[in-house]
């Protein structure tokens, strides 16, 4: 899967991409992350990418021309004056606090695409014509405002990339994740079995896989019930699950 990232700050990406599981995924050719500096698509002497907003007010707005040119060039879209035709199957995603709030389902959906374009905003935002005539989707990573879309883009890349087969060392790694089943994940323990008198639950040392599975499912349900009861509304629950949840007081 290829990510085409359009940004004014390409230098913030390599430190993370070159020191995580993603580094190995890139080396093994499972993902490719291509960074495109929007500034490279300016044509004036000072390479200006932003300007003051029409109508006044504070802050600067990223100009439409370099963004359109960068995305059209890299994705091979027909250029202006006719509006670019969206390339089927390549989503052009603007990272913005005004977008749909990102979640695990959206990460799973994005794995279906071979190529994804991510557009990182900065300053007060991007010229509205980018939103209207270039992007195909807008995604927010949560209801708070950051200084730009670079961290959100990295978060999206990380969440999507780890779902691609082979990226995680353990092929079942993403299966039981919190959120992947619509529930929070059960607790994990490793050695020692006794740390400062705090013991690992006996069932995990029992070697009885059926019992361990049951315990893990119940712990996932218990955690979700205690921490994120809202998630239970949408989770796929079996009769057994419902019986257990009722015993906790779930209606
Ligand atoms: N840019 C600034 N804040 C953001 C957010 N919460 N999500 C996505 N992009 C952003």
Residues 6+ apart with CB under 8 A from 39: 8, 47, 49, 66
Residue where a domain terminates, one of 136, 161, 186: 161
Q: Which one of the listed residues 69, 138, 158, 177 is annotated catalytic? A: 177
- The whole-angstrom separation of Cα 203 and Cα 180 is 24
pLDDT at 87: 66
Percent of the chain scored above 90 by pLDDT? 87
Q: Over the stretch 123-154, which tens digit does the pLDDT of each residue have?
A: 789 999 999 999 999 999 999 999 999 999 99
Does residue 171 lie within any of the structural domains?
Answer: no
Q: Is 146 in the pocket of ligand 1 (CB under 6 A)?
A: yes
Rg value, the chain, Cα:
23
| Adjacent-strand bridge partners of 4 | 34, 117
Mean pLDDT score, 75-96 = 79
Minimal-distance CA residue to ligand 1 atom 2: 146
Average pLDDT on 16-33 reads: 95
Secondary structure element (H or E) that encloses residue 37, with its range = strand 32-37
Domain extent, residue 125, equals 2-161
Nearest CA to ligand 1 atom 10: 96
Residue 26 in domain: yes
How many A from CA of 94 to the centre of ligand 1?
9
The more confident residue out of 171 and 83 is 171
Q: Pairing relation of β-strands 61-62 and 125-126? A: parallel
Ligand 1, from 95, 118, 150: best to mutate by most atoms within 8 Å of Cβ? 95
Model confidence at 28: pLDDT above 80: yes
**End position of a domain, from candidates 127, 161, 195:** 161
* Residue 199: how many other CB atoms lie within 10 Å: 12
pLDDT single digits (tens) 185-204: 999 999 999 999 999 999 99
Q: Is 142 found in the same domain as 95?
A: yes
Distance of CA 55 to the CA centre of its chain: 34
Please give the DSSP secondary-structure letter assigned to residue 174: T
The mean per-residue pLDDT over the stretch 218-227 comes to 98
- Whether 173 shows a pLDDT value over 60: the answer reads yes
Q: How far apart are CA 164 and CA 40, in angstroms?
A: 31
Residue 50 lies in a domain: yes
What's the domain count of the chain? 2
Q: Are 34 and 81 in the same domain?
A: yes
> What's the pLDDT at 214?
98
**28 in any annotated domain:** yes
Task: Judge if the beta carbon of residue 155 lies within 6 A of ligand 1.
Answer: no
Which CATH number fits the domain that encloses residue 196?
A: 1.10.1270.20
Structural domain includes residue 166:
no
Both 204 and 112 in a single domain?
Answer: no
Chosen domain end from 161, 189, 221: 161
Known catalytic residue: 177? yes
* Whether residue 199 sits in one domain with residue 155: no
What pLDDT is recorded for position 110? 98
pLDDT digits (tens, 9 = 90+) for 50-68: 999 999 998 999 999 999 9
How many other C-beta atoms can be found within 10 angstroms of the C-beta atom of residue 16? 16
Choose the weakest-confidence range: 68-77, 85-94, 100-109, 191-200. Answer: 85-94
153 lies in the same domain as 226:
no
pLDDT of residue 85: 63
Whether the pLDDT of residue 115 is over 80: the answer is: yes
Residue 109 in tokens: 């959906």
- Cβ–Cβ < 8 Å for 66, 41: yes
106 CB near ligand 1 (under 6 Å):
no
26 and 115 part of one domain: yes
Please tell me the distance between residue 149's alpha carbon and the centre of ligand 1 in angstroms: 5
């Amino acid at each position: 899967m290829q990510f085409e990232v359009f940004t004014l700050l390409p230098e913030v990406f390599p430190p993370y991409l070159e020191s995580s599981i993603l580094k190995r995924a890139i080396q093994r050719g499972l993902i490719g992350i291509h960074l495109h500096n929007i500034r490279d698509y300016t044509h004036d002497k000072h390479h200006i990418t932003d300007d003051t907003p029409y109508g006044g007010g504070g802050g600067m707005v990223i100009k439409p021309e370099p963004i359109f040119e960068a995305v059209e060039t890299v994705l091979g879209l027909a250029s202006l004056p006719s509006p670019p035709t969206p390339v089927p199957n390549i989503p052009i995603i603007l990272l913005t606090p005004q977008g749909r709030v990102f979640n695990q389902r959206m990460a799973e959906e994005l794995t279906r695409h071979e190529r994804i374009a991510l557009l990182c905003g900065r300053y007060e935002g991007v010229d509205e014509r980018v939103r209207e005539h270039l992007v195909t989707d807008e995604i927010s990573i949560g209801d708070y405002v950051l200084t730009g879309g670079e961290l959100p883009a990295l978060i999206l890349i990380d969440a999507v990339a780890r779902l691609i087969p082979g990226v995680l060392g353990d092929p079942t790694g993403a299966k039981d994740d919190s959120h992947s089943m619509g529930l929070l994940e059960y607790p994990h323990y490793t050695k020692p079995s006794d740390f400062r008198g705090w013991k690992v639950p006996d069932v995990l040392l029992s070697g009885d896989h059926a019992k361990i599975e049951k315990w893990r499912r119940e712990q996932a349900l218990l955690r979700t019930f205690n921490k994120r009861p809202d998630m239970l509304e949408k989770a796929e629950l079996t009769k057994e699950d419902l019986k257990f949840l009722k015993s906790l007081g779930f209606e």
